[in-house]
């Protein structure tokens, strides 16, 4: 049964102490499959490097339930070959909180951080078979600008990806 979003959900910046909670959430998503191009569970060091405090991480916010459980997180990073002024976004929500508004609660914080840090565009790269991810980013105002046949970094797996962008209003 899906839990509904409640008033006890807190959004805050992620910190290294969140590593295990975020890792448990993401590794469950990876094990279930079908929504992320990440195909191998992450170690604590990889979790921190990719989403919390690595060189390419711009910001990361967590959604924490009233009992202290991390139920989602959203990270901005500058991995890859993005154009100047662009930043990547990655969003993950607990399987039990899917479609509960976790991502929608996180997004204003990530968007504000991107604007504050001077980025002009947020890029989202979503597996083409991830209908809920595609719908989420469309609801947030992202528009498709590229469809890619496969991801050469998918560790032997090839996923068709849809790239969406959100142009941020200038200051």
HSE at residue 109, side-chain half, CA atoms within 13 A, is: 20
Distance CA 17, CA 44 (A): 11
**What average pLDDT score do residues 152-169 get?**
76
Q: How confident is the model at residue 84 (pLDDT cuts 50, 70, 90)?
A: very high
82/32: higher pLDDT: 82
Nearest to 36 by CA among 16, 21, 51, 57: 51
Architecture of the structural domain at 10-167: 3-Layer(aba) Sandwich (3.40)
First and final C-alpha spacing in the chain: 42
Nearest to 95 by CA among 31, 142, 40: 31
Query: Tell me, what's the pLDDT at 2?
Result: 34
37/52: higher pLDDT: 52
User: Can you read off the two tokens belonging to residue 134?
Assistant: 């595609």
Q: How confident is the model at residue 6 (pLDDT cuts 50, 70, 90)?
A: very low
Query: Tell me, what's the pLDDT at 129?
Result: 82
Distance CA 11, CA 113 (A): 13
Query: Tell me, what's the pLDDT at 50?
Result: 93
3-class DSSP assignment, residue 139: helix
Q: Is the pTM of this model over 0.75?
A: yes
Q: Tell me the percentage of the chain whose pLDDT exceeds 70.
A: 83
66/13: higher pLDDT: 13
151/67: higher pLDDT: 67
Buried b / exposed e along 114-138 (16+ C-beta atoms within 10 A): beeeebbbbbbbbbeebeebbebbe
How many Cβ atoms from other residues are within 10 Å of residue 81's Cβ? 6
pLDDT for residue 83 is more than 50:
yes
pLDDT for residue 91 is more than 60:
yes
Q: pLDDT tens digits for 99-150? A: 578 989 999 999 999 999 999 999 999 888 888 889 999 999 999 999 987 6
């Amino acid at each position: 049964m899906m839990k509904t979003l409640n008033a006890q959900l807190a959004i805050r910046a992620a910190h290294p102490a969140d590593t295990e909670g975020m890792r448990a959430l993401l590794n469950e998503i990876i094990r279930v499959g079908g929504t992320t191009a990440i195909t191998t569970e992450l170690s604590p060091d990889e979790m921190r490097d990719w989403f919390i405090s690595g060189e390419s991480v711009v910001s990361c916010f967590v959604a924490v339930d009233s009992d202290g459980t991390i139920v989602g997180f959203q990270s901005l990073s500058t991995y890859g070959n993005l154009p100047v002024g662009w930043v990547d976004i990655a969003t993950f929500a607990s399987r039990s909180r899917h479609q509960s508004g976790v991502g929608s609660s996180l997004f204003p914080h990530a968007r504000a951080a991107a604007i504050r840090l001077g980025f002009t565009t947020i890029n989202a790269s979503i597996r083409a078979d991830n209908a809920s991810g595609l719908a989420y980013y469309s609801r947030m105002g992202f528009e498709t600008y590229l469809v890619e046949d496969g991801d050469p970094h998918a560790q032997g797996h090839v996923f068709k990806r849809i790239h969406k962008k959100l142009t941020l209003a200038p200051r």
